[in-house]
Amino acid sequence: MTTASTEQPWFVYLLLCRSGRIYTGVTPGLDHRMKAHKTGRGALFTKMDPPVRLLAAKPFASKGEALQIERQVKGVGAQHKLTLARIWSEQHPVDQATQDRLALA
């Protein structure tokens, strides 16, 4: 039987894209999702406007909670997203290996 304490977290993440726009997404597998975005398979938005940097990723205990936060974040402007990215990256630093997987070649 699986308990909440052994479940993998879901992440809400913020990507800075080539145009300067910020993409907001949700995933249970951050590394896998970053690889998908890098190769143009992550989302239509990032296929058309490739990501250049993972700004932040915040873990949540459940898919439902992550989806709720993602929806809220998608509803705010770029400045608010940048503020969230700063706060989240201080609370939950993204390791260099994850950044490297997203970095453009």
Please state, in angstroms and rounded to a whole number, the distance separating the CA atoms of residues 88 and 105.
26
What is the side-by-side strand order in the sheet with 10-17? 22-27, 10-17, 51-60
pLDDT band for position 6 (50/70/90)? low
Domain boundaries, the chain: 9-102
Q: 102 falls in which pLDDT band (50, 70, 90)?
A: low
pLDDT digits (tens, 9 = 90+) for 16-68: 999 999 999 999 998 889 889 888 888 999 999 999 889 999 999 999 999 99
Give the pLDDT score at 103: 67
CATH for 9-102 is: 3.40.1440
Look at residue 83 and tell me whether its pLDDT is greater than 60: yes
Q: Which two tokens stand for residue 4?
A: 């909440």
